[in-house]
Chains A and B, each alone.
Chain A
């Protein structure tokens, strides 16, 4: 039988060892980690000391407490009487309905405002395509088979306007639902925002002419209007109409024909 005083000794020894161990770890791992380990060690030692106190003070046997009579719910008594309870519940439901109705109007208008914003990006007729350093892209900057990410000039912060710009090999074009007339000097541009969940569709396999989204592996066929052919996406990536301006730079001839990115309730299809 170990007596309480004996247990105290063990607690102190354990606490001392914890502090020594954390100090040693502290020296190994650097300053703030060191402070952390020392704090952890001290806290652990204090916990050990408390367990020692607990064991020393262990009551002779389990104690008990009477429960309220069976069936008593423990709620304030006002709620326990059936008639008052019904009144309170009715009042609560009525209040919730009023609050819900009051919240519905602003939420509805927010829906409308949010939707208007979802339909458009910063592309306009004549906007130049720029790269990630804001430099306009010429029609001979990309090698055939190469791809890059482009933004509307002056709107590099419009994440929903980003496009993958691909220069197709000389003998290739796009077929439906892609629009071959929206190509310019063999370049095709699709929205980079995945139609599944909006991740950037950043992987381009030149050999198979496929675009793959890294998040959930949605796969789009570049030569068929970026139609989804594998994975969870349902919509093609919207195509951006392209042309070349008088100085040989790539420009858009308008915005995307439909909203970019993930679907929503009233998205026009």
Chain B
């Protein structure tokens, strides 16, 4: 009985936790809910997936593929799609949710960046969030490779070349991850273990830490919503919990609806992976397009240093992503240096009140957007009636000009907006008047 009473007290205390009501605080929750849906659908998919590169001949419900030689992995995905009740539905929901998951993390991170939510004391939690983003993107890549169809095989091949390009350790890393030289029968098995076991464990650990720190450090809030020394919003129980439940149900509604009505990754159309074939046009899911775009348009820098070499995929495949995430990780520390502000901040800033940060963020986002578009430069060239070589050159110019130009525009717009509408007091003094 004592335990019941103690639990009740703990729940009561936790239920009083305050969550801000501003809509932008829901973005991270969209990612959280997507993660739940990914776990739920992924567990069911795992019952039917056969993580084996062993060869077999297809005799299933999908007639056009009868008698075709393929891996057991691909066969099991065809079986899942055509023979297992609701298998295709679950697969499509899982894939759509993965796209939304990474998207929600990115939009959440954009909110965190532009409002300065990463400042002390939340620098560590910001780094954990960035790590979650990188880990989630990696798991998306592995998941797409699992069906072992022709499209995913082309993607895996490119991943292999990138892993191989790492100086000194490339051959080892590629060999360990891909189970030997590509194409390897071991690959889907290793990818599967990492996709369903290693990375999910890491995600759960990091996500728990992320939540724990939000809980202990309390939420930030906009200066118009409350003062620095208290959080204003709704209590976890019942108000915020109902809100989260409603979010879960409506996201489930949208994502299951998408899975039911919108086709995604029809693996039976691509056919099984064969080393001698490639599909065109081919591309990765949206969150890896910035890497593919770099591979297409960045000058192929190839270094030969006597007996050793750094092959060209290293630049777009490793250096660019490392620069992007490295810059993001370093930003809170760089900003402290630049502004000399090492104080603790619980109140968010409006993007217009920090034109420098806003301009930097806009420039970075446009850099990534141009690379993402460039991943489709052959398709875009076809639409515009321009040949691929010209598109490559055009994209190189845009990649240099657009971030600088948009950064300057963002800086001026932010400054003008701030002049027209001065910042509310940052320490919340006089917030009575503001409300």
Q: Mark A61-94, 1 if CB is under 8 A from B, else 0.
A: 0111111101111110000000000000000000
The answer to whether B238 has its CB under 8 Å from any CB of chain A is yes
> How far, in whole Å, are A115 and B173 apart by their CA atoms in the complex?
11
* Contact between chains at A47 and B176 (CB < 8 Å): no
Q: A67-B229, A262-B164, A265-B168 are in contact. Are A114 and B181 (CB under 8 A)?
A: yes
* Contact between chains at B282 and A41 (CB < 8 Å): no
The answer to whether B404 has its CB under 8 Å from any CB of chain A is no
Q: Mark B253-296, 1 if CB is under 8 A from A, else 0.
A: 11111011100000000000001111010100000000000011
The answer to whether A185 has its CB under 8 Å from any CB of chain B is no
* Contact between chains at B246 and A54 (CB < 8 Å): yes
> How far, in whole Å, are A54 and B164 apart by their CA atoms in the complex?
54
- Which residues 294-349 in B have Cβ within 8 Å of A in the complex? 295-296, 300, 302, 304, 307-313, 344, 346
> How far, in whole Å, are A269 and B302 apart by their CA atoms in the complex?
13
Q: A66-B229, A75-B216, A110-B175 are in contact. Are A33 and B260 (CB under 8 A)?
A: yes
What residue of chain A has the Cβ atom nearest to residue B174's Cβ? A114
> How far, in whole Å, are A193 and B277 apart by their CA atoms in the complex?
10
Q: Mark A131-159, 1 if CB is under 8 A from B, else 0.
A: 01000000000000000010000000101
What residue of chain A has the Cβ atom nearest to residue B279's Cβ? A214
- How many positions in chain B have a CB within 8 Å of any CB in the partner chain? 89
> How far, in whole Å, are A39 and B277 apart by their CA atoms in the complex?
39
Residue pairs across A and B with CB atoms within 8 Å: the count is: 251
> How far, in whole Å, are A111 and B102 apart by their CA atoms in the complex?
32
* Contact between chains at B278 and A65 (CB < 8 Å): no
Give chain A nearest CB distance to B234 CB in angstroms.
Answer: 6
What residue of chain B has the Cβ atom nearest to residue A263's Cβ? B311
Q: A108-B172, A230-B389 are in contact. Are A70 and B311 (CB under 8 A)?
A: no
* Contact between chains at B230 and A67 (CB < 8 Å): yes
* Contact between chains at A64 and B183 (CB < 8 Å): no
Give chain A nearest CB distance to B249 CB in angstroms.
Answer: 4
The answer to whether B161 has its CB under 8 Å from any CB of chain A is yes
* Contact between chains at A159 and B276 (CB < 8 Å): yes
* Contact between chains at A32 and B170 (CB < 8 Å): no
Give chain B nearest CB distance to A146 CB in angstroms.
Answer: 16
Residues on A lying within 8 angstroms of B by beta carbon are 22, 25, 29, 32-37, 39-44, 46-48, 50-51, 53-54, 57-59, 62-68, 70-75, 107-108, 110-115, 117-118, 132, 149, 157, 159-160, 162, 192-193, 196-200, 202, 214-217, 230-234, 261-269
Contacts beyond the supplied A67-B228, A263-B164: 7 A-B pairs with Cβ under 8 Å: A34-B260, A37-B261, A67-B231, A110-B175, A196-B313, A263-B312, A264-B170
